[in-house]
Chains A and B, each alone.
Chain A
Amino acid sequence: MIRIKCPYCGERDHSEFTYGGDASIKYPALDAPESEWTKAIFFRENIRGMQKETWHHTNGCRLWLEVERSTITHEIKSVKACHPQIENITKNKS
């Protein structure tokens, strides 16, 4: 079972979390053209190896986390809060 070290709650089972998606995507501005949005929404890498992804601590502190996880071994390299200010507050905790 994947165990994720939530910077706020500590290490928890993945069953407490909901998988979000690719964390490396920069979503375009709301008024950006359709072509940019199409690229952001539909064109995704299918990474074999370390990938940055978002996880929501749904049954916990409700933070959205950026997790670096290997898609081959499930090894988790890093976890941090997505929100930069929350990251600043929580990063020294864990």
Chain B
Amino acid sequence: MTSQRKEHYGKINRDKVLGFTWDNKEYFGYEGDSLASALLANDVRIVGRSFKYHRPRGVMSCGVEESGALVTVGSGSRRDPNVRATTQELYSGLNASGQNAFPSVNFDFGGVNNYLSRFFAAGFYYKTFMGLPPFEWGKGTGIWMVFEKIIRKAAGMGKASREPDPDSYEHANDFCDVLVIGSGPAGIAAAQEIANNKLDVILIEQDSLLGGNSLSQKDFDAHLLNDQLKNSGIRVMSRTTAFGIYDNTVVGALERVTDHLSTPHSNLPRQRFWTIRAKHIIVASGALERHIAFNNNDLPGAMTVNASKHYLNRYGVLTGNNIVISTNNDSVYQTAIELHEAGSKVTILDSRENVNHDLPQEIDLHLNTLPFSINGRKKIDGIDVYKTSDLSHKNTIICDQVLMSGGWSPIVNLVSHRGIKPVWNNENQCFIPGEIKENISVVGSAKGIWNEKDCVESGFAGANEAMNTFGIHKKEISFPPVGGWSNAIEPLFEVKSNKFPSKSFVDFQHDVTTEDVRLAHREGFVSVEHLKRYTTLGMANDQGKMGNIIGLSLMAEQLDKTIPEVGTTVFRPPYTPVPIGALTGRNVGKHFRPLRVTPMHQWNIDHGAKMIEVGLYQRPWYYPKKNETLSDSYIREATIVRKTVGICDVTSLGKIAIQGPDATELVNRIYTNPFAKLPIGKARYGIMLRDDGIVMDDGTSWRLGENEYFMTTSTAAAAKVMSWLEELLQTRWTDLKVNVTSVSEQWAGAAIAGPKSRDVLNECVFDPTEITNDNLPFMGVLQTKLKDGTPCRVVRISFSGELAYEMYIESDYAHGMMDMLWESAQKYDGCLYGLEALGALRVEKGHVTGAELDGRVTIDDAGLGKMASTKKSYIGSAMRKRGVLSADDREVLVGFFPINENETFNAGTIVCEKNNIKGQGVGRITSVTHSPELGHWIGIGFVKGGLAKWKDITLVGADPVRNKQMEIKVVSPHMIDPEGKRMYA
């Protein structure tokens, strides 16, 4: 092939010269070029090496279906592999290179694979997985483990950058009445007609220019069209691919915002990921020209016919001097004439016996003629052809390019996403969309309509369907019939001779040949879905856009069936690849998930807190003094709490306001323990079960008034409990007059724990004598105010086992409350404590949290059976003792000590009998800590049969993950002050 730029052709801007680099060499192109057209203009023939055999490949199409020119664009962190050169717009300074080749696509050592091809035939990977006969047959993956690295290296395509993506991506949303996908003649006609009827229309076009196949016409002006559409009020989105259609006529689209620019714009995302909610969709996605399978049909210079017309009239590039066109249909004749007029010698091979076309004399038309084999190594020297009727008589035609057209395939991908099976149209040898029951219309060549006039007419018909959705009824226009060629197409998928072995490619990207398809059939893969996976046909970057139908026809031939009987594989989104970055959008780094901070977040940090993530929340973990480690710090903090006083931010607990005349009834039905007689001004610890009797969450509820409660939940279950209460009130107990409101964000809370906590509180409240054991006894609630007059709520409650309180205040006043509490606590040598010390204190007391209440545990398992009322019914009461839940060997909450007090253990340790260390053992340790009070490590967890069964028996804690083992004993989970003297003090 000798391709060259032609004067007076194309829609490129010859005043704007763009320099670019290909494989480290400098070239020039023009504004409006694609990378592929610029390479062709510079007569760069080999632009890639094939996947398995490393065969040289050139540009084979002019669009998204490209299988040859997959290149790497950019460098460093912006290196983007497997970019289709045919859709990459040229920009000044573009730096691209060939891939899957060493040292270059021109001289590639991997080319040796071409001669080893019989080892790389269909199912190569699967066979390697299975082992290597006869040595390893059936032995599994041994040989795979050995060769995986080599194979992966040899068979990769481009390499992605290992650096973080420097670009930003955006998620965007839009709405419209009608969304038109594709700006060819049919899409344009539809969009304009609908916009004329005052509906809101978005037109999506994947290309930078509007026009679709009209861009291959000499006199077509895309910019004029763009202006016309915008003047009709149509919202035009170019460089945007509708990659999928989803339920409720929602379309996913990818907009390439800066991929065509030399320097990424600092204020623009690289791409936008659009979700567009339309009320009606018109699919005008066009059709793709198929190639034909025959020997060496992949040599650089082999291309689809229509592509060469695009290169000529859009880019001003004549792709060959001496061109052979091989076809079975009428679509190529206009192209042949234009290529001839542009100066090429043109020969047409038509497989049909009779066709009627007016052609210039200089064009040789060979009827009844089939392409058999392309001659040449890295470029085309000629083609061997046969007469259809006489496969023995060979003839060779000298040429530098072979263009192929084996028919056209409507792009049915998008409607397939909706589960609509394509229907085979034998007359036109293609699949067309099946019947659609949603508000989706297909128009133009996507429906199998070939000529432009009919396409426009179908656009109007589609517009009418869309307007019907909105109750606008126009004069009935019917869709033109499918097809439109004056001479019928004849099937032509493969040309083969049994005398010569051939390498006839079906799927160029994955190097799947016609022989691979037949081999798959011989090996028993007869369903198309299996064929696809075994040969990997249609599983590459292009998802079988060019090769699928040929593969199906070959399978049909092997099975002696028709193509519709064989059926087609299901197309799934995306139509063209969508970068992960675009899917992720802004949800990266810090924005990967929402960040929740408490109102005293800054206060905590200012006072030296090291923070830890708990769910979405940032909570204080520990407050190290200088040089303190985590464990130094939490041991000190826990010790001080037991000795004097400590203050801890507990805002992340869920808080729910329960109000209404039936508030008591609701609370009494959802907790296992009685709440019906809870006096005003008192709080109670409560357990909630699920319907199935398993513990859902624990928390407290405070009775603030006759009809008002303040509920706290665990941090983790806050949202779940809120939804649960709403579900009960809205779906099951609709007669209850109760309102629940989440007030988690409205109240900030701090725990004040330790023997001096009452003194600290009294220094902070308005009346310094207010808080006494009498007027605020254990589980008492007080609504009062701070000494500066700010209203607050105080509850006497203890998670640490010490005399302790929680104080809540409106969130905006959190800093003031903390200042006051901390100023006072310092006088008693108190401390601030974090989650680690909080955990240590509660483990010492055997209090359960989410680590224990993990969705498998009953109230009895958790040792809280006494809290399950037998006098009332509540959620879960009917189920909590069902079958297995009351078995004797259930795991029950206990405490654990190491036998050797110097030993430590971790949460997750499996508890086993001494001589039976295996499997799941007899229990598990769920939470551990160093106990400052006891002076050694302690844990809580579960063991079958509980303390009664294992008292004084030495067990083994097995921790195979950390390769650790230690002797342990089972103790009561209440390891400190089991009578609770301190908290009642």
Which residues does A use to contact B, with CB under 8 Å? 1-3, 13, 18, 20, 23, 27-34, 36-38, 40-42, 54, 56, 58, 62-64, 73-74, 81-86
Contact = CB atoms under 8 A, between A and B. Distances in A.
Given A30-B669, A74-B247, A64 B878 contact: no
A28 B246 CA distance: 38
B248 A1 contact: yes
Contact of A86 (B727, B730, B874, B875): B730
A1 to B, nearest CB: 4
Contact of B879 (A41, A63, A82): A41
B878 A34 contact: yes
25 contacts: A1-B248, A3-B250, A13-B277, A23-B731, A27-B691, A27-B732, A31-B878, A33-B878, A34-B878, A37-B691, A42-B692, A54-B731, A56-B727, A63-B730, A64-B726, A64-B727, A64-B731, A73-B419, A74-B247, A82-B731, A82-B734, A83-B729, A83-B731, A83-B734, A84-B734
B377 interface: no
Contact of B878 (A13, A32, A42): A32
A37 B250 CA distance: 40
A91 to B, nearest CB: 15
B248 A2 contact: yes
A34 B886 CA distance: 13
B247 A3 contact: yes
Contacts of B250: 1, 3
Contacts of B882: 34, 38
Contacts of A82: 730-731, 734
Given A31-B873, A37-B879, A3 B727 contact: no
A87 B493 CA distance: 61
Contacts of A23: 731
A2 B730 contact: no
B877 interface: yes
A18 B723 contact: yes
Nearest to B742: A62
A23 B886 CA distance: 30
Given A20-B727, A83-B730, A83-B734, A2 B247 contact: yes
Contacts of B873: 29-31
A32 B875 CA distance: 11
A48 to B, nearest CB: 14
B275 interface: yes
Nearest to B247: A74
A40 B669 CA distance: 18
Interface of B: 246-248, 250, 275, 277, 419, 669, 691-692, 723, 726-727, 729-732, 734, 873-875, 877-879, 882
A15 B873 CA distance: 36
Contact of A37 (B275, B729, B731, B878): B878
Nearest to B878: A37
Contacts of A36: 878
Contacts of A58: 723
Among A32, A34, A38, which residue has the most Cβ atoms of chain B within 10 A? A34
Contacts of B247: 1-3, 74
A34 B885 CA distance: 13
A81 B734 CA distance: 12
Nearest to A29: B873
Contacts of A81: 730
A8 to B, nearest CB: 12
A34 B878 CA distance: 5
Contacts of A30: 669, 873-875, 877-878
A60 to B, nearest CB: 12
A33 B98 CA distance: 73
Nearest to B418: A73
B881 to A, nearest CB: 8
A36 to B, nearest CB: 8
Most buried by A among B277, B726, B730: B730
A79 to B, nearest CB: 13
A63 B726 CA distance: 8
A54 B160 CA distance: 44
A3 B691 CA distance: 30
A1 B730 contact: no
Contacts of B732: 27
Contacts of A42: 692
A39 B614 CA distance: 37
Contacts of A3: 247-248, 250, 277
A76 to B, nearest CB: 8
Given A2-B248, A37-B879, A84-B734, A56 B726 contact: yes
Contacts of B730: 63-64, 81-83, 86
B438 to A, nearest CB: 9
Chain B CB within 10 Å, residue with most, of A23, A31, A37: A37
Contacts of B419: 73
A54 B723 CA distance: 12
A27 B733 CA distance: 10
Contacts of A85: 734
B242 to A, nearest CB: 14
A1 B874 CA distance: 38
Nearest to A81: B730
B879 A34 contact: yes
A74 B246 CA distance: 10
Contacts of A56: 723, 726-727
Contacts of A28: 878
A85 B733 CA distance: 12
Given A1-B247, A38-B882, A41-B692, A62 B726 contact: yes
A42 B419 CA distance: 32
B275 A1 contact: yes
A54 to B, nearest CB: 6
A80 to B, nearest CB: 12
A80 B857 CA distance: 36
A75 to B, nearest CB: 8
Nearest to A23: B731
Given A1-B247, A13-B277, A27-B691, 5 more contacts: A29-B873, A30-B873, A82-B731, A82-B734, A83-B731
A81 B731 CA distance: 9
B675 to A, nearest CB: 14
B676 to A, nearest CB: 14
Contacts of A86: 730
B661 to A, nearest CB: 15
Contacts of B669: 30
A64 B726 CA distance: 8
A48 B329 CA distance: 45
Contact of B727 (A13, A40, A54, A84): A54
Nearest to A28: B878
Contacts of A40: 691
A32 to B, nearest CB: 6
Nearest to B879: A37
A77 B248 CA distance: 12
Nearest to B252: A1
B115 to A, nearest CB: 50
A22 to B, nearest CB: 11
A64 B275 CA distance: 26
A31 B247 CA distance: 43
Nearest to A86: B730
A3 B730 CA distance: 22
Nearest to A83: B730
A90 B731 CA distance: 16
A29 B872 CA distance: 12
A85 B732 CA distance: 13
Contacts of B723: 18, 56, 58
A5 B729 CA distance: 22
A56 to B, nearest CB: 6
Nearest to A31: B873
A28 B692 CA distance: 13
Contacts of B875: 30
A63 B734 CA distance: 13
A85 to B, nearest CB: 7
Nearest to A14: B247
B879 A38 contact: yes
A56 B734 CA distance: 16
